[in-house]
């Protein structure tokens, strides 16, 4: 399969998974467990949606690897690995907010940032009625509309960010907010990194940064941003919580400059 065919498969599975998430949400959400901290929750729907995605990939791409948030990993025989977050923005999902997404990427190489090459990705936000797709060399799309990253306006850049689940990390996150506010017109905390990155690709947000993201939070988004003309890199100032930074080349460069500053 070429990148466009892999994208179409990712999109088809993301659409089906998004419909399941939406249906389960309308039936009421049941909390399955907490994970790293009390704030880090998983619902029955997260697990069921990941099962659906994993099952379809096993049937349609049996030699490919898998790395998912809820069910762990399987090694690849083909050199390709699917990096999957069944519901990104689980707290929004459980709280009844529409900004959550299914995030599916396929990468070549080890499914580890900087060793992977993003091939295709799909981010489906079913409660927003939006499906974002991208394939290497084929552009980034919202439905039939081609996407392009945006530049900061005269008042500054509209930026997005997120915070980790561990309260002990909040001070470091807030210090980064203080650093970037010098270039910002305003800041959004949407609650789904995959949606944030789709918004960067769409030029709705001019830039995004967050520490401590997992591969499944940003794998599909990284393909969207690159194919929309943007740049996404990771800055390892704090090795335990590397910082993802994304935006147009100019917005990204300015964010990198401010976020690399130490007090």
Query: 69 or 206, CB closer to ligand IPD?
Result: 69
Query: 81 or 90, CB closer to ligand IPD?
Result: 90
- Cβ-based neighbours of 22, under 8 Å, separated by 6 or more: 126, 127
Query: 90 or 150, CB closer to ligand IPD?
Result: 90
Query: 132 or 163, CB closer to ligand IPD?
Result: 163
According to the binding rule CB under 5 A, does residue 50 interact with Ca ion?
no
Could you say which of 69, 130, 173, 227 contacts Ca ion (CB under 5 A)? 69
Which part of the chain contacts Ca ion (CB under 5 A), choosing from 6-14, 16-24, 84-92, 146-154?
A: 84-92
Residue 195 has phi, psi (to 5 degrees) of -70, -40
Q: What long-range pairs does 184-189 form, CB within 8 A, spacing at least 24?
A: 184/156, 184/157, 184/158, 184/159, 185/152, 185/153, 185/155, 185/156, 185/157, 185/158, 186/156, 186/158, 186/159, 187/159, 187/160, 187/161, 188/158, 188/159, 188/160, 188/161, 189/160, 189/161, 189/162, 189/163
Which part of the chain contacts ligand IPD (CB under 6 A), choosing from 145-153, 175-183, 189-197, 252-260?
A: 189-197
Query: 87 or 107, CB closer to Ca ion?
Result: 87
Could you say which of 3, 162, 215, 221 contacts ligand IPD (CB under 6 A)? 162
Binding pattern for the stretch 194-213 against Ca ion, x by CB under 5 A and - elsewhere: --------------------
Binding pattern for the stretch 47-76 against ligand IPD, x by CB under 6 A and - elsewhere: ----------------------x-------
Sign of the CA dihedral running 238, 119, 83, 46: positive
According to the binding rule CB under 6 A, does residue 164 interact with ligand IPD?
yes
Q: Which of 111, 70, 103, 116 is nearest to 224 (CA)?
A: 103
Give the integer Cα–Cα distance in Å for 224 and 147.
9
Could you say which of 85, 130, 173, 227 contacts ligand IPD (CB under 6 A)? 85
Helix, strand, or coil here: 102?
A: strand
According to the binding rule CB under 6 A, does residue 192 interact with ligand IPD?
yes
Query: 18 or 191, CB closer to ligand IPD?
Result: 191
- CB of 160 closer than 8 Å to CB of 189: yes
Could you say which of 64, 85, 210, 227 contacts Ca ion (CB under 5 A)? 85
- Cβ-based neighbours of 186, under 8 Å, separated by 6 or more: 156, 158, 159
Residues within the interface to ligand IPD (CB under 6 A):
69, 85, 88-90, 162-164, 191-193, 210, 213, 217
């Amino acid at each position: 399969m070429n990148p466009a065919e892999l994208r179409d498969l990712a999109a088809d599975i993301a659409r089906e998974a998004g419909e399941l998430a939406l249906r389960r949400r309308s039936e009421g959400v049941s909390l399955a467990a907490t994970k790293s901290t009390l704030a880090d929750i998983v619902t029955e729907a997260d697990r069921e949606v990941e099962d659906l995605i994993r099952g379809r990939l096993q049937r349609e791409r049996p030699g490919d690897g898998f790395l998912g948030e809820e069910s762990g990993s399987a090694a690849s025989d083909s050199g390709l690995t699917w990096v999957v977050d069944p519901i990104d923005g689980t707290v929004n999902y459980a709280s009844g907010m529409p900004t959550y997404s299914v995030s599916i990427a396929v990468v070549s190489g080890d499914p580890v940032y900087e060793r992977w090459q993003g091939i295709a990705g799909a981010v489906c936000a079913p409660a927003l009625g939006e499906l974002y797709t991208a394939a290497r060399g084929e552009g980034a799309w919202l439905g039939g509309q081609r996407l392009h990253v945006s530049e900061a306006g005269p008042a500054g850049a509209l930026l997005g960010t997120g915070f980790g689940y561990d309260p002990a990390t909040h001070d470091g996150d807030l210090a980064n907010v203080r650093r970037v506010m010098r270039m910002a017109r305003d800041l959004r905390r949407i609650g789904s990194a995959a949606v944030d990155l789709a918004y960067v690709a769409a030029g709705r947000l001019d830039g995004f940064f967050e520490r401590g993201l997992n591969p499944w939070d940003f794998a599909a988004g990284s393909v969207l941003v690159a194919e929309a003309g943007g740049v996404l890199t990771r800055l390892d100032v704090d090795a335990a919580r590397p910082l993802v930074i994304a935006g147009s080349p100019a917005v990204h460069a300015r964010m990198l400059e401010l976020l690399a500053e130490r007090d």
